[in-house]
Amino acid sequence: SQELEQSPQSLIVQEGKNLTINCTSSKTLYGLYWYKQKYGEGLIFLMMLQKGGEEKSHEKITAKLDEKKQQSSLHITASQPSHAGIYLCGADPLIISSGSARQLTFGSGTQLTVLP
Amino acid sequence: NAGVTQTPKFRVLKTGQSMTLLCAQDMNHEYMYWYRQDPGMGLRLIHYSVGEGTTAKGEVPDGYNVSRLKKQNFLLGLESAAPSQTSVYFCASRNARRVAGPSGGANVLTFGAGSRLTVL
């Protein structure tokens, strides 16, 4: 089955600092998705990476997928309190098993706190 | 706004009671999913459906049943609630077909806002 390790589990940073969250898959992926969740709310889609070596940015958040398509990182530059929340990575498997519905496997999440 | 709607948002049950969570999507997605989220464990798949009238078990299906009588709705039922089912439940949906390239956004899994269930 797909294993997805996410680190760190929690992160506390001072406003203005940079930070990185990592996500590692045990298998090659078709796609890697990053979501953000604020307490008590649903998951908001941030970015999707599909190509080896791909990098995408949105405002101050940059996500990268390695060439082997097994590792991804999410980097936040000059963090702000609005960046606080839980970040989850989701893996879309390369090989779809018979009968599956292409469900994503998720990492355990990274709780980010940004101190003003 | 288009998306995934879950009801109710909050519910408190006593052990042994039953209830149904409703998920509705208006994006004409074929695939629908029910996940539960517990601290430190990320999202775990309970059941899923690849189309109207079909359902299948996910990673943690015990104690739950589902039905998909209409394409846009996916119901999650608890016949006899247990404290271990205290959790936040998320419904999600997506297209069936993989799309590569610039239209890859069609692969995105869209989530509802969640339903927080407490079983006493």
Are B114 and A30 an interchain contact pair (Cβ–Cβ within 8 Å)? no
Average pLDDT over residues B61-77: 96
pLDDT of residue A95 exceeding 90, the answer is no
pLDDT for the residue numbered B39: 82
Q: Say how far apart CA B71 and CA B3 lie, in whole Å.
A: 14
Residues of B in contact with A45 (CB under 8 A): 108-110
SS (H, E, C) chain B: CCCEEEECCEEEECCCCCEEEEEEECCCCCEEEEEEECCCCCEEEEEEEEECCEEEECCCCCCCEEECCCCCEEEEEECCCCHHHCEEEEEEEECCCCCCHHHHHHHCCEECCCEEEEEC
pLDDT grade for A98, boundaries at 50, 70 and 90: low
pLDDT for the residue numbered B21: 97
Q: Say how far apart CA A3 and CA B42 lie, in whole Å.
A: 12
pLDDT for the residue numbered A40: 74
pLDDT for the residue numbered A69: 85
Closest C-alpha to A107, from A34, A28, A19, A12:
A34
Q: Say how far apart CA B50 and CA B98 lie, in whole Å.
A: 14
Looking at this protein, which amino acid is placed at residue A113?
T
pLDDT of residue B25 exceeding 60, the answer is yes
Which region among A3-17, A53-67, A88-102, B20-34 has the lowest average model confidence (pLDDT)? A88-102
* CB-count exposure of residue A59 (10 Å: 0-12, 13-18, 19+): exposed
% of chain B surpassing 90 pLDDT:
75
Are B90 and A102 an interchain contact pair (Cβ–Cβ within 8 Å)? no
Q: How many CA atoms lie within 13 A of A90 on its CB side?
A: 26
Write the residue in B48, B98, B116 that is nearest to A101 by C-beta.
Answer: B48
H-helix segments, A1-116: none
- Report the greatest alpha carbon distance in chain A: 49
Average pLDDT over residues A9-14: 96
Are B116 and A40 an interchain contact pair (Cβ–Cβ within 8 Å)? yes
Q: B49 and B61 in contact (C-beta within 8 Å)?
A: no
pLDDT of residue B33 exceeding 90, the answer is yes
Planar angle of CA B92, B89, B70, nearest 5 degrees: 45
How do residues A47-87 score in pLDDT, each as one tens digit? 999 888 999 998 899 999 998 889 999 999 999 999 999 99
How do residues B74-109 score in pLDDT, each as one tens digit? 999 999 999 999 999 999 998 877 665 555 565 788
Q: B7 and B91 in contact (C-beta within 8 Å)?
A: no
Q: Which of residues 53-112 of B touch A (CB under 8 A)?
A: 56, 58, 90, 94, 96, 98, 100, 104-105, 107-112
Nearest CA in chain A to B57: A100
